[in-house]
Amino acid sequence: MSKLVIRSACALAVCAAAGALSGCAHLRTDVDARFRPLGADLYGSPWAHLAHLGPGRSKRASSWDKTGGNWDALTIQPGETVTLADIEGPGMITHIYFTMVHPHLLDYRDAVLRMYWDGETTPSVEVPLGDFFCVSNCIVRRFTSQMVTVNLGGNLHTYNNGLNCYWPMPFSTGARITLENQSNRILGGQFMGLWSHIDYVEYDEGEDVPAPIGRFHAQWRRENPTTVNPAVKETLEKKEPVLNLTGDENYVVLEAQGRGQVVGIFLQVDNLEGGWYGEGDDMVFIDGDTWPPSLHGTGSEEIFGGGAGPDQEYTGPYTGYLLVENRDDETYKGFNAMYRWYLHDPLRFQERIRLTVEHNHDNWSANDYTSVAYWYQAEPHAPFPALPPAAERRPNFGEAFERANAAYSELMDLVVPYIREFFKERRRPPKWMMELRETSNTAYEQMYTRDFEAAEKTYRAMLQTVKAKIEQSE
């Protein structure tokens, strides 16, 4: 099997992530002419590569029950790190899927996803589980885009969701994917489980993924709240024009070194101050840039493809404002989340990149900014900033959440062992437990819509009922 065939297949997959769905002919590489015939420019279809009989075998690493039973989920204990995939040899991951049934609200931030390519000791991907799949501040929004999709589960409203990503992830000698549970509870809420699929193509030993193909990276950052320079505050108070001619104090989405290309960003803004927060321009400094940057935008809505001042949610193949909370009936206040996939226009760099965005014009707003950057680059990559501990990553939910969470935890300590026992042994739970399902759904709905005071009352009432039923059964 020739290396050319593997090189062509790998190039096609990575080109798809870099905006070459209409063919790879525009790339200027030494193998350009070799894989151009496989593209749409010849066959007239953006999916012409599907007819090309490429190398390799399709494989999957999943959480299936090795005993032959139906408990097809991983139970991840507090503080435990599990290996989701450990692949030897050359290959490419093509799809990752996770789901949890009735997860704890904080599971999306307390679990950390890491990916290692070709035996590296520091991860190329280090992102909280939910954020990697565009779950903003633990609040799920279902949406469909080209590279990340969150799908509806069964009749469980907002708390049963399928998380999917389609970024191609090539590797030469191996890949390892882990998930660390940094919480003090078993991951996965009532059912205490994570269902997992990692689909990939396995190539023959000795048929290496070529060096020009970059490795996939993703990095999480947060600034809570963003810092406002005292000089900017003074200028605002004097009602003088506020100018930004350096970009030095912008929120930093990514700083990377080497040769590569940014293919996506997911930005979350908890608008604590209220009012319109989005006058922040994106400023992307590439290689030797000082001022002005290579790319200078005109406001955050333009980055994510929206009209002026988006106050409603929308999603599309490449851009979207997937969460617009308008908290307390105040436009723009509260959680906001947006994504941009640079599939047609990756941000290319040969030495380094600094991707930034103002937090309001000239960084005059002190809000909570969180982001994930997705990019490909040649290894080695620069060290990542240290990931903050779980307590420092959690959203600004407030004291009402802490009380509701305490009630939830007390209830789960009591009822979860019963749920797991009946589910694993395929026995029907007692009637009283089934009758509590709707009440449980109501409580989850209250948690996910941030009505924490109502959720606490619901959980306390359920707790009393469960205690009484268990005492009767004993």
Residues 6+ apart with CB under 8 A from 12: 20, 24, 35, 38, 39, 49, 52
| Tokens standing for residue 22 | 């209409």
Is the pLDDT at 23 greater than 60? The verdict is no
Q: What pLDDT was estimated at residue 39?
A: 45
Q: What pLDDT was estimated at residue 339?
A: 98
Q: How many CA atoms lie within 13 A of 411 on its CB side?
A: 27
pLDDT confidence of 251, banded at 50, 70, 90?
A: very high
pTM: 0.89
At 136, give phi and psi (nearest 5°): -90, 120
pLDDT confidence of 371, banded at 50, 70, 90?
A: very high
pLDDT in tens, 402-449: 999 999 989 888 877 766 666 665 666 677 777 777 788 888 889 888
pLDDT in tens, 212-223: 789 999 999 999
Q: Which domains does the chain have, with CATH numbers?
A: 3-51 (no CATH), 57-202 (2.60.120.1390), 215-378 (2.60.120.1390), 399-473 (no CATH)
Ranking 65-69, 279-283, 356-360, 364-368 by mean pLDDT, the lowest is 65-69
Q: What pLDDT was estimated at residue 405?
A: 94
Residue showing tokens 């908290």: 327
Q: What pLDDT was estimated at residue 243?
A: 94
Residue showing tokens 């048929």: 207
pLDDT in tens, 323-346: 999 999 999 999 999 999 999 999
Instruction: Round the average pLDDT of the chain to a whole number and report it.
Output: 87
Q: What pLDDT was estimated at residue 70?
A: 86
Q: Are 258 and 381 in contact (CB under 8 A)?
A: yes
Q: What pLDDT was estimated at residue 368?
A: 98
Collapsing DSSP states into helix, strand and coil, what is residue 368?
A: strand
